[in-house]
């Protein structure tokens, strides 16, 4: 298993699943930091991790060979400050949530958030979708895939004090997206942040948590 540092994302720690023995630590490149999330390929031979440049939060995906952890490739995440990434198509296509925060420690302000699909082999950006200006304060953080190939995404609102905005959306394979309605009383309880999203085994029910 892999444990990814965040705030600051200084390293990735590879551990044995059976007993937690530390197998390897992968340091972030100088001037960059990891974004707290990564995925293995189906064979367990490569690890794909989000990372951002310290100076401007430019995002990219780092590819590490296992078990030695050697860095073998890196390519753009299609946005800035990428957070979670998941497989849209196993071993072929990555779905990436770019949080869009220039100051990753900021608690308020605008976000240049986007959702991107990237070819895992070539690193080519296949498509990207930026949130409308109405949602300029929303930062995409967490992802889960439905049985139909849609991606449910949970968000963080950088301006929760002035209005109650939706915090969960669904991105379609055609590049479009929609925000999910939520009763206002329930939305207020989330206080502007979804900490994770998940899909049930049937792939049709989504759940989002808020800490």
Q: What is the pLDDT of residues 59-118, one digit of tens each?
A: 999 999 999 999 999 999 999 999 999 999 999 999 999 999 987 666 667 899 999 999
Q: How far apart are CA 124 and CA 122, in angstroms?
A: 5
Q: How far apart are CA 63 and CA 19, in angstroms?
A: 25
Place of tokens 């998941």: 86
Q: How far apart are CA 26 and CA 94, in angstroms?
A: 21
Q: How far apart are CA 177 and CA 187, in angstroms?
A: 20
CB 52 within 8 A of CB 104: yes
Can you read off the two tokens belonging to residue 99?
């949080």
Q: How far apart are CA 202 and CA 154, in angstroms?
A: 20
pLDDT in tens, 108-162: 678 999 999 999 999 999 999 888 888 999 999 999 999 889 999 999 999 877 7
In percent, how much of the chain has pLDDT > 70?
Answer: 98
Residue 67: CB atoms within 10 Å? 12
For the chain, give me the number of helices (H) and strands (E)? 1, 17
């Amino acid at each position: 298993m892999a444990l990814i540092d965040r705030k600051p994302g200084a390293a990735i720690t590879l551990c044995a699943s059976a007993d937690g023995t530390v197998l390897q630590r992968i340091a972030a490149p100088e001037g960059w930091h990891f974004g707290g999330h990564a995925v293995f390929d189906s064979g367990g031979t490569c690890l794909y991790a989000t990372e951002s440049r310290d100076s401007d939060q430019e995002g990219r995906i780092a590819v590490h060979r296992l078990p030695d952890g050697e860095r073998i490739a890196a390519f753009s995440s299609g946005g800035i400050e990428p957070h979670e990434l998941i497989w849209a198509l196993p071993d072929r296509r990555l779905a990436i949530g770019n949080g869009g925060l220039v100051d990753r420690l900021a608690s308020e302000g605008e976000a240049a958030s986007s959702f991107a699909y990237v070819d895992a082999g070539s690193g080519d950006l296949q498509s990207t979708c930026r949130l409308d200006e109405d949602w300029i304060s929303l930062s995409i953080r967490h992802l889960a895939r439905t049985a139909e190939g849609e991606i449910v995404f949970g968000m963080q609102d950088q301006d929760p004090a002035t209005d109650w905005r939706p915090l969960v959306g669904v991105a379609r394979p055609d590049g479009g997206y929609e925000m999910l309605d939520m009763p206002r009383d329930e939305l207020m309880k989330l206080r502007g942040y979804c900490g994770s999203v998940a899909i049930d085994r049937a792939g049709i029910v989504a759940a989002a948590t808020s800490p």
